[in-house]
């Protein structure tokens, strides 16, 4: 179910052709749906919201100076679409104020650089996890769920050393793909589980 693409490129985007579309979907669709889903708890509604944001992007074809600006456009579009949706469901005004606090906003720092934004961390992480070989991914995810090496070995019926090897390989593969910030987080998550 994962689409392979060689990373984000503004040049590709600004061609506004089939490759641009493929890149957008491969890099962002699942993560944006996931972002919206935290509020809607409904995959279909969130998918709809993201499809609409992509359509608006396509209609307007804005010119982005940096990839960070593209990310702001997408995350903000999905956030607004989702909050509007929630408002349609719950008419009480006070509720809406609290809800919009719960859905984080993606903003840039004054110099235009990206700020810490968990959703973007998840996006990069998940894309990279998708690209892991199946066994490594399986073991990695199980350890994320809090399972100890011994448990994993038992469930998969393999040696504990094999589990450790796969885990180590998964971390190495992810480290190569992720920025330092994202990877630090990941390291925490893995080590915490030992």
Q: Is 89 in the site for other proteins (CB under 8 A)?
A: yes
Taking the least distance from each CB to other proteins, the nearer of 107 and 159 is 107
What is the number of other CB atoms lying within 10 angstroms of the CB of residue 59?
8
Residue 119 CA to residue 104 CA, distance in Å, equals 9
- The number of angstroms, rounded, from the C-alpha of 122 to the middle of its chain's C-alpha atoms is 4
What is the number of other CB atoms lying within 10 angstroms of the CB of residue 189?
14
Q: Is 88 in the site for other proteins (CB under 8 A)?
A: yes
CB of 153 to other proteins, least distance (A): 19
Taking the least distance from each CB to other proteins, the nearer of 14 and 90 is 90
Taking the least distance from each CB to other proteins, the nearer of 109 and 159 is 109
Give me the sign of the Cα torsion angle 79, 100, 83, 129: positive
Give me the sign of the Cα torsion angle 165, 189, 26, 63: negative
What is the number of other CB atoms lying within 10 angstroms of the CB of residue 2?
11
Q: Is 105 helix (H, G, I), strand (E, B) or coil?
A: coil
Cα-flanking dihedrals φ and ψ of residue 59, to 5°? Answer: -65, -45
Taking the least distance from each CB to other proteins, the nearer of 102 and 154 is 102
E strand map for the chain: none
Place of tokens 């998918």: 47
Of these, 10, 108, 141, 156, which contacts other proteins (CB under 8 A)?
141
Q: Is 21 in the site for other proteins (CB under 8 A)?
A: yes
CB of 116 to other proteins, least distance (A): 6
Q: Which stretch binds other proteins (CB under 8 A): 70-78, 114-122, 151-159, 165-173?
A: 114-122
Q: Which residues pair with 108 in a beta bridge?
A: 114
Task: Annotate each residue in 25-54 with x if it binds other proteins (CB under 8 A) or - if it does not, as one string.
Answer: xx--xxx-xx--xx---xxxx-xx-xx--x
Binding site for other proteins (CB under 8 A): 1-3, 21-22, 25-26, 29-31, 33-34, 37-38, 42-45, 47-48, 50-51, 54-55, 58, 85, 88-89, 91, 115-116, 118, 122, 126, 129-130, 141, 144-146, 180-181, 184-185, 187-189, 191-193
């Amino acid at each position: 179910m994962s689409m392979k693409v060689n990373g984000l490129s503004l040049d590709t985007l600004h061609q506004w052709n089939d490759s641009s579309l493929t890149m957008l979907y491969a890099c962002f669709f699942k993560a944006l749906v996931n972002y919206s889903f935290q509020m809607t708890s409904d995959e279909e509604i969130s998918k709809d919201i993201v499809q609409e944001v992509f359509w608006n992007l396509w209609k307007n074809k804005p010119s982005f100076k940096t990839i960070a600006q593209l990310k702001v456009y997408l995350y903000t579009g999905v956030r607004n679409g989702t909050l509007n949706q929630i408002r349609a469901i719950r008419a009480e005004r006070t509720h809406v104020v609290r809800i919009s606090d719960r859905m984080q906003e993606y903003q840039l720092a004054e110099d235009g650089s990206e700020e810490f934004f968990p959703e973007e961390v998840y996006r990069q992480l998940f894309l990279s996890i998708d690209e892991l070989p199946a066994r490594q991914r399986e073991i990695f995810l199980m350890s994320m769920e809090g399972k100890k090496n011994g448990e994993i070995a038992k469930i998969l019926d393999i040696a504990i050393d094999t589990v450790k090897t796969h885990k180590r390989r998964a971390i190495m593969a992810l480290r190569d793909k992720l920025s330092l910030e994202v990877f630090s987080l990941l390291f925490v998550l893995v080590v915490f589980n030992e």
